[in-house]
Structure 1
């Protein structure tokens, strides 16, 4: 019998470190537990995925400008044609597999601006093709939220119903799908797949990251204070906030900038972190506005890099969900500039629920109050995080064991016969 053929599906290789970290976690599991599996990807950045992860990869969408705004008639027509071509492309790709896995990420939510005919449509094509061809599509430890936009809601609901296996990374995600009419009685909750990734030792990361930082100003009576990581985001609100997007962004940027400036004026080294290529303009705006040698930008190409940065910090203040995961996993006291329920849920699960601040209402003065309170409890919170990280890692191990039982122990390779038909 031929080896089981496994496809992985998602917006990998497109510049989002959280998406790529979820892919890395899944590939680590497949290589350790199912080394015989033949793995390839249908993804956003196939060249990056092939080079970085060593697996064959195809582009998710036929039209290369799928995620750019189309204003001219030619671009609009090309997008429309791409939707039709993608039906055939996705179906042909799915038919070549026994199992197709969507590993983690918030594929069932609209916490950021999202059009229904973008990724929600692609996910629906995947799940429908799996049901028609017999390939088992698995949504593994995914994030979800209640969706207001009716076309997006319908596509997401049908995608979830058509999947052969699904699990969620938190209870609020499962509850959101139940609220949208999906029967989740048999669906389990585990943890975000990134909790299975290795954590760098704190001392190693501290030596590597802080060696080039300026020495903070302090009196002889003050204890030495390490750097603060501030994870920023090109934040414009959710899918339902399009009318207020620029106002929300200005408020977020102003509050974050004032907070960073206050830290620098207090002599604290600040490392600005991103989680997506889209976040770079926010970093540049803060650097221009603060103009201090104590404020520097970190170059991060993976969740491993992010974890090294956060492990080197005394404290982390971050917006993006996987920036928070990296900081919490590194055991560093963390304050969330929260933009959705998933961040609040994560912080509560890790024992830091009181240290959330709404990203839409970024208030530098209140942030500083919460930050100082957080630092005052640093030793206690590090002990709590150590315990919670062990529990989260165990839940991901349980997820992988459940995935093996559900998909691999009952899946006979059938792709050879499919291709022959």
Structure 2
């Protein structure tokens, strides 16, 4: 390799990026911002779920993650089953060929080491294992940066996740729960660090307009953002998925209807393309001009929406992140322990409600308690956001030291 080539590290990014999930894409955006600021000569491309979207939105070359385009559709016919099986073999070759062209591959954030939502082992867990195994075989540094993890009961999925983590050259986590989960699965995490979710590295929305003078008559109740989700339970709830979804949708709809009855405008938010039917169902059920739906295309758009609200009630993890990042008092209608951990870390641990028990009356009680402390909670969020920003500066400094060593020194491998 010539000196000129050494000055231009070849960096790949990997994951279900460009596939409609705004949280995944926000994590990618944060890592690309870091690379462009700290390593502007790096040559970056992606192996991802939605290559056309990633190239159009972020200006980097991208390759489709799976050879078989129907990878995430249920295969019932013999031809589709055979194509999926063949795809697993082809993907092993394709992934290895892509990995060996890079010095470093970064998996940016995302819950890549968890199964809190329905997940099959031979889907993304297998793809991640191929990546990490190819990295070890080809001498390419694989970095799991600010990722999420959770205990996994399904044995094949747990095995693939465990080996992926062991084979990675660098690991860091978005919360302590994630590191603890990896340790419980038999991964040595003694040298792994916890920072903050990568989305906290994205630019904050503009500050609010100055408050009205003290003698101004009180304004009418303001906007409430309600982030919804196509929630059907977790990986172990497949038999009860329809029942869980009906209960969640009914409770959320009744909550929105109660806000509208009080004259509150409501803005519905999503975080993934699959959430659109939930928005449609709530709009049809409530049928009020006070209820509108946002068309956010990025986490930045979501932050702008939440910054304009008096309060936010949200289910998807990165909807909650965006609301907290914007400094808006937030109630998490959470579906996994990661939401509770995030809220606790940001000083709002008292304002969590399980998505499985979306009872409208209890939600309203928690929501009113949240609004009574609005000014105090905004101050707490300002302080916690500053701390998250400092921790992410430390994350990127550590990442540079680990992945882009100077003077030809080899990178320290994770145990």
Alpha-carbon distance between aligned partners in 2 of 1:406 and 1:283, rounded to the nearest angstrom: 43
- Report the equivalent of 1:269: 265
Distance in 1 (CA, whole Å) between partners of 2:408 and 2:264 is 58
Match of 2:223 in 1: 227
- The number of residue pairs the alignment matches comes to 400
Change beyond 3 A, Cα 1:126–1:410: farther
Query: What residue number does 1:343 align with?
Result: 339
Please give the alpha-carbon distance, in whole angstroms, between the structure 2 residues aligned to 1:180 and 1:20: 28
Structure 2: 5+ residue stretches without partners: 411-415
In structure 2, the partner of 1:362 is 358
Secondary structure of the corresponding residue to residue 239 of structure 1: coil
- Secondary structure (helix, strand or coil) at the match of 2:45 reads strand
Q: Does 1:124 align with 2:120?
A: no
Partner of 2:47: 42
Q: Write the distance in 2 (CA, Å) between the matches of 1:200 and 1:63.
A: 39
SS at match of 2:105: strand
Distance in 1, matches of 2:308 and 2:388, equals 22
* 1:324 alignment partner in structure 2: 320
Residue in 1 aligned with 2:73? 68
Matched, 1:54 2:54: no
Give, in whole Å, the separation in 2 of the partners of 1:298 and 1:103. 26
Alignment of 1:64-213 (within 5 A): 64-203=69-208
1:417 aligns with: none
Gaps of 5+ in 1: 207-219, 415-421
Partner residue of 1:213?
none
RMSD of aligned residue pairs (Cα, Å): 1.5
- Normalised by the length of structure 1, the TM-score is 0.93
How many Å apart are 1:224 and its aligned residue? 2.0
Shift in Å, 1:202 = 3.9
Q: Answer yes or no: is 1:24 the counterpart of 2:29.
A: yes
1-side partners of 2:406 and 2:154: how far apart? 37
Aligned: 1:283 with 2:288: no
- Would you say the 8 A contact 1:5–1:413 is kept in 2? no
- How far apart are 1:221 and its partner, in Å? 8.1
Counterpart position of 1:12 = 17
Cα offset, 1:223, TM superposition: 3.5
Give me the TM-score of the superposition, normalised by structure 2: 0.95
Superposed displacement of residue 203, structure 1: 3.2
CA distance change for structure 1 residues 7 and 233 in 2, over 3 Å: closer, same or farther? same
Residue 226 of structure 1 and its aligned partner are, at CA, apart by 1.5
1:335-374 deviation per Cα after TM superposition (whole angstroms, max 9, x unaligned)? 0001000000000000000100000011000000000010
| 1:243 pairs with 2:248 | no
Distance in 2, Cα, partners of 1:398 & 1:224: 43
> Compared with structure 1, are the counterparts of its residues 268 and 4 closer, same or farther at alpha carbon in structure 2 (3 Å cutoff)?
same
Return the alpha-carbon distance in structure 2 between the equivalents of residues 327 and 269 of structure 1: 17
Q: For the residues of structure 2 that align with 1:411 and 1:175, how far apart are their CA atoms? A: 34
Partner of 1:384: 380
For residues 351-405 of structure 1, the C-alpha deviation after alignment (integer angstroms, 9 at most, x for no partner) is 0001000000110000000000100000000000000000001111100000000
| 2-structure distance, mates of 1:367, 1:249 | 17
Q: Distance in 2 between matches of 1:179 and 1:410?
A: 35
Quote the offset at 1:225 in angstroms. 2.0
Question: How far 1:200 moved relative to its partner?
Answer: 1.1
For residues 81 and 165 of structure 2, the distance between their equivalents in structure 1, rounded to whole angstroms, comes to 29
Q: Partners in 2 of 1:44 and 1:65 — Cα distance?
A: 11
Q: Distance in 2 between matches of 1:158 and 1:262?
A: 48
Deviation at 1:287, TM superposition (A): 0.3
